[in-house]
Structures are given as structure tokens and as C-alpha cells.
Amino acid sequence: MDFLSAGWLWMYIGGGLMLAEILMPGFVVFFFGLSAVTLGGLMLVLPEAFHLTLAWQLALFSLFSIVYLVTLRKYLKGIFLGDTEDTVSATDEFAGRMGEVRAAIGPGVPGRVVVGDAEWDAVAVDPVAVGTKVKILSRRNLTLTVEAV
């Protein structure tokens, strides 16, 4: 068995890409790795049917990548990454806490608020000037909703 054949090279590339997904956010590189492993596996299992030129190998790799991204990404992302929908919480640990505005908040213009020793993005219904004390009403992901006190 020739471990430097095109099939094995695709398997190595695919394995490397799948491992690289651990270091990169987004859950996309995994599917390129899966495509490379699929192509490599087909070339190893069915060498007569998949004795392809490099151009055909790249075309099949692209096709597999698109098919996997379109069909599997949303499903597998939910399994591996969990539910990542927006979270809105009025009863979280921040509600009711006090902070101070570091960057002015305007209508439709987010600003920055310091709570404890951390700085957060913040929005408010009414404009709030720098240095104003604010009360946190709720949190939506990494953005706080505040009101001046």
C-alpha cells in the first residue's frame, strides 16, 4: 500500500483540516476536511473508478465541500456547538446592578458601560452622557440595556 498516493494525501489533508477546526471558530473548516477525507476514501476504496487528474480531484473536492456545507453545517453545528440563539434575560446576574458610562449612548447608537472591572457594550432608550451612573435592565448576549439613574 502506497502511503503517498493521491488518496492517502487527501486523507492526510482532510485529517489536518478537521484538527485545525479545533483552533478556528465558525465550524466551516471541518467540512473541507470531511470533503478531503471523502475524496481520499473513495480514491483508496475504488482506485479504478477514481483514478482522476488533479483538476477532477479539485472539482470533486469543491463539490463535496459545497454539498457538506449546505446540507450538514446547520445540523452538526447544533450538535457540536449547542444552541447559539440570541439570549435575552431580565433576571440574569446583571439586572439591577449599577455601572458607569464610558462612551456616550445615543438613540440607536450603542455606547460602553463599566460594570465592576469589565467594560460592556450598552444601549438605552434615552441618550446617556459619559460619566453618568446607570442601572442595568437586561442583557442580550454581550450587550447591556441600561437606563440613567
Q: Are residues 39 and 101 in the same domain?
A: no
Residue among 143, 138, 98 at smallest CA distance from 120: 143
Q: Are residues 72 and 105 in the same domain?
A: no
Residue 1 lies in a domain: no
Q: Which of 33, 58, 81 is the last residue of a domain?
A: 81
H helix or E strand, kind and range, residue 26: none
Range of the domain at 33: 6-81
Please enumerate in sequence order all residues whose Cβ is within 8 A of that of 51, keeping only pairs 6 or more positions apart, or say none.
43
Indicate the pTM of the whole model: 0.53
What pLDDT, in 10s, does the model give residues 109-134?
999 999 988 999 999 999 999 999 99
Cα–Cα distance measured from residue 33 to residue 13, given in angstroms and rounded to the nearest whole number:
7
Residue 74 lies in a domain: yes
Please enumerate in sequence order all residues whose Cβ is within 8 A of that of 45, keeping only pairs 6 or more positions apart, or say none.
none
Residue 60 confidence (pLDDT) above 70: yes
Residue 42 lies in a domain: yes
Residue 24 lies in a domain: yes
Scan for cell 446592578, then name that residue: 97
CB 57 within 8 A of CB 39: yes
> Cell triple for residue 20?
485545525
Tally of domains in the chain: 2
Q: Are residues 23 and 49 in the same domain?
A: yes
Residue 62 confidence (pLDDT) above 60: yes
What pLDDT, in 10s, does the model give residues 91-105?
567 888 999 999 999
Residue 125 lies in a domain: yes
First to last CA, the chain: 75
CB 37 within 8 A of CB 13: no
Residue 49 lies in a domain: yes
Residue 1 confidence (pLDDT) above 60: no
What CATH number does the domain containing 113 carry? 2.40.50.140
Q: Are residues 10 and 74 in the same domain?
A: yes
